Amino acid sequence: MSPVLPTIPWKDIISHNKKEDCWLVIHGQVWNLTEFVNQHPGGATIILKYAGKDATKTFSAIHPKDITDTVPQSYLKGVIDPKEVPPVQEEEKTASEAPTELSDVTVDEVLNTYDFELVAQTKCTVQAWAYLNSGGDDEITLRDNTAAFQRIWLRPRVLRDVSIVDTSTLLLGVATRMPLYVSATALGKLYHPRGEMELSEGCAMTNTIYMLPTLGSCTLDEMTSVRQKDQTQWFQLYVNGDRSVTKKVIEKVEKLGVQAIFVTVDSPQFGNRERDQRLKANVVATIQKETGKTTDQNQGISKSLSTFIDPGLNWKDVPWLMSIAKTPIFLKGIQTGEDAILAARSGVRGIVLSNHGGRNADTCRSGIEILEEVMDTLHRENIDLSNFDIYVDGGIRRGSDIFKAIALGAKAVGIGKPAVYALCAFGKEGVERLILRLQEEFMRTMQLCGCSKISDIKREMIITKDLSNHGYPHQTGLYRNYIPATTIKSKL
């Protein structure tokens, strides 16, 4: 039987607000983290910011509830009185300087992914926005992920019966609304109080597969607890340096009912995300001088999350992963034809062509550009694709982008940031609206190109001669500021 914890009044808590005497409130519990301040992987600054205050909102955005189990329970001092009114705390600034009229926008007024991005920026903290939108180094790859789709041209066929259009397809034997899934993104509670649970529910509303992240704000139990009847969830896996931990994670997610595991293979080291780092560096410089320590405290959210990922992961580990998993294994982050061949011959169920959202090595090619090379290589090597699926992610913003990927040979595409924008803007209703709008755009593109079903989408319906021409538009960056004329823009 757990001991009864004492109730601590707020007037006592707020007095413990120094580095040498640091108490925080998290989920109604009072923690003395004085001894933990300099051990915190994310740096001391974020803890000291909430010394003597309620850190629940910020804590929940980054950590699942059960992470406190890893902290010595002797740090737990008591609980707050739920009937006592807590002191008013300063609100975090949002990332947007947009007019307040955007707060009046309804989900029905949003017409595309760019609109969701505008609204989300008004509801997101500066730090969370920087983490979500940061790319590697000069962010050339980040920008080009979207621009690459604009270098592919359509070759519509006419005089075909498209009075009825079916966008549905099968992914690993599961019927889905269209060849699209929501890919894993970290720290969902930075953008919505219910984080990944809300995102999963939004996917369920549209019969869309959701990929659970390793670095979610919610626990695996929470994310799977909201799975609806007949809903499919996949799982994205970072391999831990301690292989026994990875084995336990795989066993747990399979027990919880996930139907495929996507092993991230493009991140032996996270990229140099300076936009994320810069905000953090401005906050922690003073603390670094005080402690005299050189740590990763100024490296932003990304660095603080990546310390457990094994840089030694290699092709010899793939058979081991397949031996302990009962569900299909995919390799997420393939970027060349050569590695696609190795993956196909290793026996995995498929691959995801991805450059990690442009967040790792800068000047890598976009997923859609990688796709053309991979398909050519696989066909040249006579690889049987009947049981080897190719997915692609990165830069999908329009239904026409989905069409182009399918025409080039992808089985499906994944979206990450657009889903988070929708989540941040309107919760699960936003996620539902986003997916339905993408389906409308995809269906319209199919009709205009003469396709009534997925199998009608052919390679000859697109032109890719400009796909490898990177002279435009990333050098000007003009498309980064392009927002289509919509109802939402009229509010600016």
Distance CA 349, CA 6 (A): 54
On whether the CB atoms of residues 32 and 61 are closer than 8 A, the answer is: no
52: alpha, beta or left? (left if phi > 0; alpha if psi -120 to 50)? left
Per-residue pLDDT at 358 exceeds 70:
yes
Are residues 61 and 119 located together in one domain of the fold? no
Find the domain containing 27 and state its range: 7-80
Q: Which tokens is 335 given?
A: 């970027």
Per-residue pLDDT at 351 exceeds 60:
yes
Question: Is 389 an active-site residue?
Answer: no
59 located within any domain:
yes
pLDDT for 477 equals 35
Mean pLDDT computed over 389-401: 98
CA-wise closest residue to 182 among 235, 219, 238: 235
Catalytic residue among 16, 63, 192, 356: 356
pLDDT for 287 equals 26
Per-residue pLDDT at 82 exceeds 90:
no
Average pLDDT of the chain is 87
130 located within any domain:
no
Distance CA 368, CA 69 (A): 42
Cβ within 8 Å of residue 486, ≥6 positions away: 111, 112, 115
Per-residue pLDDT at 391 exceeds 70:
yes
Are residues 165 and 246 located together in one domain of the fold? yes
Per-residue pLDDT at 154 exceeds 70:
yes
Among 29-43, 97-111, 148-162, where is mean pLDDT lowest? 97-111
Per-residue pLDDT at 304 exceeds 80:
no
Are residues 66 and 118 located together in one domain of the fold? no
Question: Is 238 an active-site residue?
Answer: yes
At residue 153, φ and ψ (nearest 5 deg) are -110, 145
On whether the CB atoms of residues 434 and 422 are closer than 8 A, the answer is: yes
For 185-239, how does the pLDDT look when each residue is reduced to its tens digit (9 = 90+)? 999 999 999 999 999 999 999 999 999 999 999 999 999 999 999 999 999 999 9
Per-residue pLDDT at 49 exceeds 50:
yes
Are residues 229 and 373 located together in one domain of the fold? yes
Catalytic residue among 114, 238, 391, 421: 238
Tell me the CA distances in angstroms from 155 to 37, 162, 382, 448, 460, one per residue in order: 60, 16, 27, 10, 7
282 located within any domain:
no
Distance CA 463, CA 410 (A): 16
pLDDT for 272 equals 85
pLDDT for 38 equals 82
pLDDT for 281 equals 36
Per-residue pLDDT at 364 exceeds 90:
yes
Distance CA 290, CA 292 (A): 6
CA-wise closest residue to 251 among 174, 347, 323, 196: 323
315-321 long-range contacts, CB within 8 A, separation 24+? 315/342, 315/346, 317/239, 318/346, 318/347, 318/348, 319/346, 319/347, 320/243, 321/239, 321/246, 321/250, 321/261, 321/263
On whether the CB atoms of residues 44 and 19 are closer than 8 A, the answer is: yes
pLDDT for 286 equals 28
Distance CA 22, CA 47 (A): 8
For 256-269, how does the pLDDT look when each residue is reduced to its tens digit (9 = 90+)? 999 999 999 998 87
Number of domains composing the chain: 2
Q: Which tokens is 366 given?
A: 């976009």
Specify the DSSP element, H or E, that contains 210.
strand 209-212
Helix, strand, or coil here: 230?
A: coil
CA-wise closest residue to 252 among 292, 220, 219, 282: 220
Q: Residue 216: give its domain's CATH number.
A: 3.20.20.70
95 located within any domain:
no
Per-residue pLDDT at 245 exceeds 80:
yes
For 173-189, how does the pLDDT look when each residue is reduced to its tens digit (9 = 90+)? 999 999 999 999 999 99
89 located within any domain:
no
Distance CA 379, CA 260 (A): 25
297 located within any domain:
no
pTM comes to 0.84
Catalytic residue among 54, 115, 144, 266: 266
Are residues 165 and 312 located together in one domain of the fold? yes
